[in-house]
Structure 1
Amino acid sequence: MSIWVVLVFFGIYYAISTAVTRMRAELGSPVHDLHFIGPDEMMPRIFGTRLLGPHNLTIMAYLFFFNRAYRGHPMPHILEGFKLAERTGISNRRLLFAMCIAIVIGTFASFWAFYHISYIEGARDWFAGRPFNRLQSWLTSPRNPDVPAIVAMCIGFLITGFLMIMRMRLFWWPFHPAGFAISSSWSMNVFWFSILVSSVIKWIILRHGGVSAHRKLIPFFLGLILGEFIIGSIWSIIGITTNQPMYRFLF
């Protein structure tokens, strides 16, 4: 992989990682999958596959596994963990040590789970073939820079900048730039109505009860969220125990 491609690729990746982490910290978005916006999708459109060349494109195909989506990106979870440690007085050093142990255990457990499910369900139709089908298209039909895609990126950048300026200058401005960023995420098909209802409820509380009422009611709504997770976990445990499909949450 060419040096300039490596620098641009991981520069875009870490910029997205930082944006996703800030999105969670500032907005508290429940989802941020952001499918197909990574550097492996962006660079061929900006520079064209002819300029990148077969070698760089082939390496990009092998980097698909951590760029397909960002719903499970570790940075937001790590930041939230350190925030919880700060609020509860837990040592950051101990938390970091626990995270390192969890990473090692989780890595081996994930490999085992992947192979186990693959042998049971079959892996032929899973996502592993997608980057190589895309690579085949790149190699057989070399392309120049995608001008409409570049224009769309610039428009998105301008809209995001406008929303950021309005949010900083106008206290009452209701639209968050992070909300615009995640509006096209696949998971918003599942969550959009819940987010709409919660936004309306929050607006009513702030409108008629003020900030003090909003802060007093936060534990109640956090309890609703926690209760949904508990009930969903119970249904999952029942389904695993009885080997029968049960009521599913989210997916």
Structure 2
Amino acid sequence: MDHEFHYYMTYLIAARSGFNKKDAETLAYSSQYIDNNDHIFNISPGTDNHYENYISQTKNITMPRKKLFRIYPIFHFVPGKVLAKDSRRKDGKLHHLNTTPDNKNANQILDSALETNNLYKIGLAVHAFADTYAQQKQYGGTKVEKYNKYQWLDRVLANPVKISWFKLQREIPLIPIPVIIEVIKDKIKDFFGVEFSFKYSWKDKNDYKNSHWYRFQKAVKELQEEAETILENNTLSKMELEEL
């Protein structure tokens, strides 16, 4: 699914369910941002405010198996009922990690998130639940804010030059930004008077924990831990897996 469903349709459903506009937008943004949260930010290293996030999406299938395993079955392809008709491959083979619509694991992960009343965590779980069907604009008299995948990031991180480089690489991925920077970093240092690197800092080191971005990232880590327990009990314990 794309942002038309994960953001706009999720907002509509949340609003129709009784969430106010602000909360519906937070929930819907969280639901979509899973797919855009594919970069590890090293923020304020060497300080008391040092933070590194977990990614919740990746298109790099060469990543270590452990990292792939904690992303795909939890946030995108929640394992379903292995004997369900729609889980069978064309060759008739089955796999415990195949996802199926409205499955037990996805429901338990969603129930667990709903019990916390954490909008970010609910958004994460709603995305995963919707994806069990995927793999569909506005509501009432209020206009839905246009989705901007950099909105939460821009509000919390300083270093506008570095963020601009990051965005450029995301929009034109064929440009080898890190290579270019290695070539010109001495000139950047001479011009800006600072050593250029891909380390970031907070706009407000005293209030960043109240930001949408930080709360979303905190929810990613919490939901991952909770979902791993659910999957272990329902699915993974039935499989013979190498140590991940």
What band does the TM-score fall into relative to the shorter chain?
under 0.3
Q: Going by fraction, where is helix more abundant, 1 or 2?
A: 1
Q: TM-score, normalised by structure 2?
A: 0.25
- TM-score, normalised to structure 1, is 0.24
